[in-house]
Structure 1
Amino acid sequence: MAILIFFVAHWYLSLFAQTFFLHRYSAHKMFTMGPITEKVFYWLTFIFQGSSFLSPYAYGVMHRLHHAHADTAEDPHSPSFSKNLFDMMWKTKNYYQEIVNKVDHIEAKFKKNVPNWAFMEKLGDSWVSRLGWGVAYIMFYYYFAESYWVFLLLPIHFLMGPVHGVIINWFAHKYGYRNYDVDDTAKNLLPIDFLMMGESYHNNHHKFGGRANFGIKWHEFDPTYPVIKLLSFLKIIKLKPNNDLNYM
Structure 2
Amino acid sequence: MLIILTFFACHWYLSIFTQTFFLHRYAAHGMFTMSPGWEKFFYVLTFIGQGSSFLSPRAYGIMHRLHHAHADTEHDPHSPSYSKGLFDMMWKTRQFYNDILNNRDTIAPKFKKGVPYWAFMEWFGDRWPVRIAWGTAYTLVYIAYAPSLWWFALLPIHFLMGPIHGAIINWYAHRYGYVNFAVDDTARNLLPFDFLMMGESYHNNHHKFGGRANFGGFRWHEFDPTYPVIRLLNGLGIIRLKANNDLKYM
TM-score when normalising by structure 1 = 0.98
Could you tell me which residue of structure 2 aligns to residue 150 of structure 1? 151
Alignment gaps of 5+ in structure 2: none
1:11 is matched by which residue type in structure 2?
W
Could you tell me which residue of structure 1 aligns to residue 243 of structure 2? 241
Q: What is the CA distance between 1:241 and its match in structure 2?
A: 1.5
Q: After TM superposition, where is structure 1 displaced by more than 4 Å over at least 4 residues in a row?
A: none
Identity in percent: 72
Could you tell me which residue of structure 2 aligns to residue 6 of structure 1? 7
Deviations 1:16-74 (A, max 9, x none): 00000000000000000000000000000000100000000000000000000000000
In structure 2, what is the Cα distance between the partners aligned to 1:239 and 1:69?
Answer: 26
In structure 2, what is the Cα distance between the partners aligned to 1:246 and 1:230?
Answer: 14
Deviations 1:223-242 (A, max 9, x none): 00000000000000001124
In structure 2, what is the Cα distance between the partners aligned to 1:77 and 1:242?
Answer: 28
Could you tell me which residue of structure 2 aligns to residue 141 of structure 1? 142
Could you tell me which residue of structure 2 aligns to residue 19 of structure 1? 20
Q: What is the CA distance between 1:244 and its match in structure 2?
A: 2.5
Deviations 1:121-144 (A, max 9, x none): 001111011001000001111011
SS at structure 2 position matched to 1:170: helix
Q: In structure 2, do the counterparts of structure 1 residues 218 and 242 end up closer, same or farther at CA, with 3 Å as the change threshold?
A: farther
In structure 2, what is the Cα distance between the partners aligned to 1:211 and 1:233?
Answer: 17
1:124-203 alignment runs, 5 A limit = 124-203=125-204
In structure 2, what is the Cα distance between the partners aligned to 1:147 and 1:241?
Answer: 52
Q: What is the CA distance between 1:217 and its match in structure 2?
A: 1.6
Could you tell me which residue of structure 1 aligns to residue 207 of structure 2? 206
Equivalent residues, number: 247
Q: What is the CA distance between 1:246 and its match in structure 2?
A: 5.6
In structure 2, what is the Cα distance between the partners aligned to 1:125 and 1:218?
Answer: 41
1:46-125 alignment runs, 5 A limit = 46-125=47-126
Could you tell me which residue of structure 1 aligns to residue 234 of structure 2? 232
Q: What is the CA distance between 1:213 and its match in structure 2?
A: 0.1
In structure 2, what is the Cα distance between the partners aligned to 1:230 and 1:124?
Answer: 28
Alignment gaps of 5+ in structure 1: none
In structure 2, what is the Cα distance between the partners aligned to 1:111 and 1:217?
Answer: 34
SS at structure 2 position matched to 1:173: coil
SS at structure 2 position matched to 1:98: helix
In structure 2, what is the Cα distance between the partners aligned to 1:179 and 1:218?
Answer: 12
Q: What is the CA distance between 1:245 and its match in structure 2?
A: 4.8
Deviations 1:190-242 (A, max 9, x none): 01001000000000000000000000222100000000000000000001124
Residue 217 (structure 1) aligned to one of 206, 216, 219: 219
In structure 2, what is the Cα distance between the partners aligned to 1:204 and 1:111?
Answer: 24
Deviations 1:155-174 (A, max 9, x none): 00000000000000000000
In structure 1, what is the Cα distance between the partners aligned to 2:91 and 2:224?
Answer: 29
SS at structure 2 position matched to 1:177: coil
